[in-house]
Amino acid sequence: MRGFLKKDLALLYNTGKVYLAVIAMGIVLGLVNKEMRSFSSSFIMIMLALAGASTLSYDDFENGMPFLMSLPVSKKTYIKEKYLICFLSGAVGLVIAAVLGTVIFKMPLIHGEEPMLLVFPVFFAIAEIMTAVMIPTRIKFGPEKSRIVGMGFVVAIFGIGYLFKLFSVDIDALIRDAQENIPKLALVLGVMVFCMVIMLISYTFSVKALEKKEF
């Protein structure tokens, strides 16, 4: 696993300029519009978490997967490393967002409408859930079909949003009610537990999907 991890860290380092631009864009967005501080911070977290999942595309480049699978490591080890690199890249995004929120955006830590201890763990969990969807989809369907599946996933999200609107479901009111009636700590813990369950299901599916593939 250490060799895979070094390879992916080198890949992310070589594409670092792209993510520096993402961080810069998030900073500008948060400074221009104070109400967008949480969004810009979460945007940085999500993009950096997805950077880990993007290493799957590099592995497929120029028929790279058959070579990687010929190495003396198991397919399960390969999958474990992918989830680890996604967690590490997301954790880096979380640290960067926390520094920006504290130093530049002056976001409250505990109290206020958007406290960092409530908002950031939730967005970190969302970022990891997104990678939990991307990894098995990419392994199962390959580079081309996974894009179609990803587009279908986005369309499904918008479709759900449209149904909520069609049936006059006030999402903002539901979120406010949850914040008012559920203790903040319990809400964060619930989201984190849900994230771990999704990650476990995703990991199991990814291992089975890769083990069925022949290279």
Q: What is the pLDDT of residues 65-94, one digit of tens each?
A: 888 888 888 889 999 999 999 999 989 988
Residues 105 and 2: their CA atoms lie apart, in Å, by: 37
pLDDT digits (tens, 9 = 90+) for 12-42: 888 777 888 878 887 887 777 777 777 777 7
Check pLDDT > 60 for residue 171.
Answer: no
Task: Enter the tokens of residue 167.
Answer: 């049936």
Task: Enter the tokens of residue 68.
Answer: 């990687």
**What is residue 59's predicted lDDT score, i.e. its pLDDT?**
82
Question: Could you tell me if 38 and 97 are in contact, meaning their C-beta atoms sit under 8 angstroms apart?
Answer: no
Task: Enter the tokens of residue 196.
Answer: 């771990």
Confidence bin at 50 (pLDDT 50/70/90) = confident
**pTM of this prediction exceeds 0.95:** no
Residues 37 and 162: their CA atoms lie apart, in Å, by: 26
